[in-house]
Amino acid sequence: MKMSVFRTDFALKARVMNFDLDGDSKKVFDILKTVSYLDNLGITKATKREEKMGRMEIDEWYEISGSLKIPEGFKAFWVVCKRETPKEPFNVFMRIDRNASAENYDEAQEKTRRWVEEQLAEPLRRSLRIEEFHVKTPSELSSVPGDVKAQ
């Protein structure tokens, strides 16, 4: 029996202890370069300058993009590394939107969750000082008010 292919979408969010924008962003990039399922990785530093109440505010972040090398195909892979804010209490946000072959949608979601945990989350956990960390679907992110503490 041929399995169906389902689109699955996950986000990985992490808060890094004593986050250093330049150093830790480059560390994330270097970690991702070791993941065999990722290809064509690039990193770009972005800067936004905005005047607020007569003062110039500068916001900087890094974006990492690339492609997934998996048989079922992919839709999107994108990472942002940034300073934590009250509105966005994380330093690393990764979006993984991929296809997964399975007998049903729930099985495809679980297959992708395990893949994200093994291939992307574990290398980050081993190399960064993570304070908070989770891998969730977009609907799980919107229904959960807080983050899960790192183990």
pLDDT in tens, the chain (151 residues): 678 999 999 999 999 999 999 999 999 999 999 999 998 999 999 999 888 888 888 899 999 999 888 888 777 789 999 999 999 999 999 999 999 999 999 999 999 999 999 999 999 999 999 999 999 988 887 754 544 444 4
Measured between its terminal Cα atoms, the distance across the chain in Å is: 40
Q: Are strands 38-52 and 55-68 parallel, antiparallel or unpaired?
A: antiparallel
pLDDT at 13: 95
Looking at residue 98, its amino acid is R
Please state the domain extents for the chain: 4-143
pLDDT at 149: 45
